[in-house]
Structure 1
Amino acid sequence: TNGDKWHKAERTSGKFCRQFKLPVNADMENITTQLEDGELKISVKRMAHERKQSKVIDIIEQGRSSDDVKTIKATA
């Protein structure tokens, strides 16, 4: 949650099951857990953002007459 921490307190006895939806950038290979004094701590790191490379594309602009054609380079 954009740097925010999430905390939930529950006090029950016996077995329990809890499921969480993780964000798409969660690093599933580096999840750590710690159980101490009945408190379970789960840490999920985020994967580094991949920087997409820029791509140059041609934009063809055609005017009213067929002779009026311009090609423009644009970065996407």
Structure 2
Amino acid sequence: MTNPVNPADDHAGRIAALEEHLAHQNRTIEELSDQLTQQWKVVEQMRAKLDRLTDRFLALEESALEAPAITRPPHY
């Protein structure tokens, strides 16, 4: 003989499994959101550093002396 399954028990089990799955997804989404926030901070820091380095490079380039003219060495 087979064991009759109570439909109410079956639904309750399915609902519990769905709630567990939803809780896991919510936790995963929160973890991903936190990681994205941390990565965005790193990107912003790198962007600011790149901007500072670019400004510094341009300032050095502007203040650099012009390259001397290429002439033949005296022993030629």
TM range (shorter): under 0.3
Q: TM-score, normalised by structure 1?
A: 0.26
- Which protein has the bigger helix share? 2
Structure with more relative contact order (C-alpha pairs < 8 Å, separation 6 or more): 1
The structure number with the bigger radius of gyration is: 2
- Which protein has the bigger strand share? 1
